[in-house]
Chains A and B, each alone.
Chain A
Amino acid sequence: MTNAPPPQRSGATGLLLVFSITALLVGLGFDLGAGSRVRFWIGDQPAAAAAVGVAGVLFAVLASHAARLVLAARSKPHQQESSDASSHT
């Protein structure tokens, strides 16, 4: 973590947020109102799809945090020089 200033807000955030909220409201509306859901197991619960979407995002964020913590290569030049099976045999 460096002491760089926080990154700028992206210009597309607002637009993407609008589209996402619209999609969510459309989906929730039909789900809670007309009962159109995926008819299997947990999908049959109201707003199940939204919950699954949020769960997916949580997985994504946690995974990327974990990956960057655990699996980040030490330094790029070092990895370039690491010998692989095809060198000089």
Chain B
Amino acid sequence: MTPEIALFCVLGAPVLQALLVMLIPKPPGLRDLIHIGFSLVALGCAAYLMNAVAQHETARIVLARPLPNVDLAFAIDPLGALMAVVLTGLGVLHAVHAAGVARAKQEKAPARLLAFIALAMAGVTAVAFSANLFSLFVAYQALALAAFPLVAHRGDEEAQPAARAFLATLLASSIGLFLPAMIWTYSIAGALDFQAGGVLAGRVDPLTANVLLALYVMGIAMAAIPPMHSWLPASSNGPFPALVAIQALAVLPAGGIGVLKVATFVFGPAMRDAAIAAQVLIVLVGVGMIVAALIALSKQDIRERLAYSVMAQSLAVVMGALLALPAGLFAAALQIVALACAAATLLMAAGTTMAITGRSKVADYVGLGRVMPWTFAGFAIASASMIGMPPFAGAWAKLWLITAAAGSGLVWAAVLASIAAILTFTHLGPLAANAFAGRAPTDAFKRPDGASILLAAPVILAAAATLSLLVLADPLAVFLSPIWTPEGP
């Protein structure tokens, strides 16, 4: 097993998984087994690749070469390997959970749902491992197209306009903003490869850098930057496994990874030239975080509330990437990891609650923690991580974000991030607290035996993952450090 083979496997296994699941929709046990099994394979390959990166090995596979110096290539680097391991690991938990939800809720066409979830995971893994801007672009489009059927899954009159808005926003922004920026970069630098020192470093004048930064950041609408964020609330009406895939594991993290890769590998030190655009974007992102948290407070449906809450956290990733210090980039990477774990847990817990009790309004969550203790323990832990309460993962990511913001002289950005954290507390904290504080409802369960292990275990395991960052943060810092300290010219 060489790194190249592992790279092929980690990209190809989900595609194969999708095909097999579509071909073998019944019996449901076999279908779920295939789904979970291939997720484990993907996780194994990603772990192998992470180990390879830690040993300073490199691997690169080229699938096509449309232009000189521009190929559809995938390579392993610390950032991509880390993200792949985290996302495929959560993907295994999500696969187990989706199997449980499909059973409990009698979702229509579950095989198609699982297949497109697998394709979305393939897409985000491809984004993580992309070796240049072109591969990033192709993987991004593929992911958008793979996620579109997830939004449109139910096929009713709510789903269709939502799906159209989803696809339109993502494709329009990427083709209209990202693609021109990519072409412009190619014309400046002659290559699109991601380099540890930044492709544009030293080659670009401030005006161009500013415009390019704006185009790139706005073009990666998957990071939910206002005004390109409308796909996120539009997608919140789908079935819960789809929601988890879209918001927590595939689409939103892909946006964060994309912005982070662009900031690190395309701009690098050239971010200082683009300082004006960076500051304007940070203002936009900071205000967006606060407004998103406020909007989340006003929503009474748990799916909409979580959608806006997750959006606020994703904007923290963008803020970290836009701060030109290594501390900011590290904060953004930590925040992606913490957000993936926490958002996956929250959405899976909400899915479990919906499947078992049929409740999706915030006011109905009062007291449910007493009858579903494990699920809501996971919900509470993940909420604490999203809010940024120590000792959970989100706290350390936020700590580094505020430190980096204050350190780069943008104290107001740190203030905006802190206000957003307090507002996140207001819309998640009482929700989690009341789930345990209220009187237990007597008629909660639709099924007499409560939540099956398939539904509760992934929630708890994903919540446990949010605790891991406390001990893993330093090895991660060492692991990621080659990214912002290039070894040579």
Establish whether A and B are touching in the complex (CB under 8 Å): yes
> Interface on A for B, CB 8 Å cutoff?
85-89
Contact mask for chain B residues 412-453; partner A; CB cutoff 8 A; 1 contact, 0 none: 000000000000001100110110010000000000000000
Among candidates A85, A86, A87, A89, residue contacting B297 with C-beta atoms closer than 8 Å? A89
Bound-state Cα–Cα, A85 to B297, Å: 13
Are A88 and B366 in contact, with the CB atoms below 8 A?
Answer: yes
Report whether over half of chain A's contact residues are helix, strand or loop; otherwise say mixed: loop
Are A89 and B426 in contact, with the CB atoms below 8 A?
Answer: yes
Chain A's nearest CB lies how many Å from the CB of B220? 33
With an 8 Å Cβ cutoff, the count of chain B residues facing the other chain is 11
Is B363 in the interface zone, CB < 8 Å from A?
Answer: yes
Bound-state Cα–Cα, A85 to B434, Å: 11
16 examples of A-B residue contacts, CB within 8 angstroms? A85-B430, A86-B430, A86-B433, A86-B434, A86-B437, A87-B430, A87-B434, A88-B362, A88-B363, A88-B366, A88-B434, A89-B297, A89-B426, A89-B427, A89-B430, A89-B431
On chain A, the residues within 8 Å of B297 by CB distance are: 89
On chain A, the residues within 8 Å of B430 by CB distance are: 85-87, 89
8 shortest A-B CB distances, which residue pairs? A86-B430, A89-B430, A88-B363, A86-B433, A86-B434, A89-B297, A89-B426, A85-B430
Bound-state Cα–Cα, A86 to B363, Å: 12
Chain A's nearest CB lies how many Å from the CB of B384? 15
On chain B, the residues within 8 Å of A87 by CB distance are: 430, 434
Chain A's nearest CB lies how many Å from the CB of B262? 37
Contact mask for chain B residues 42-84; partner A; CB cutoff 8 A; 1 contact, 0 none: 0000000000000000000000000000000000000000000
* Chain B: CB-nearest residue to A88: B363
Chain B's nearest CB lies how many Å from the CB of A23? 48
Chain A's nearest CB lies how many Å from the CB of B184? 47
* Chain A: CB-nearest residue to B297: A89
* Chain A: CB-nearest residue to B366: A88
Bound-state Cα–Cα, A88 to B366, Å: 8
Contact mask for chain B residues 275-299; partner A; CB cutoff 8 A; 1 contact, 0 none: 0000000000000000000000100
Interface contacts beyond A87-B434, A88-B366, A89-B297: sample of 13 additional A-B pairs, CB < 8 Å, sorted by A = A85-B430, A86-B430, A86-B433, A86-B434, A86-B437, A87-B430, A88-B362, A88-B363, A88-B434, A89-B426, A89-B427, A89-B430, A89-B431
Bound-state Cα–Cα, A53 to B297, Å: 54
On chain B, the residues within 8 Å of A86 by CB distance are: 430, 433-434, 437
Chain B residues 77 to 136 lying within 8 A of chain A, measured CB to CB, are none
Bound-state Cα–Cα, A87 to B363, Å: 9
* Chain B: CB-nearest residue to A84: B430
Bound-state Cα–Cα, A86 to B435, Å: 11
Contact mask for chain B residues 390-429; partner A; CB cutoff 8 A; 1 contact, 0 none: 0000000000000000000000000000000000001100
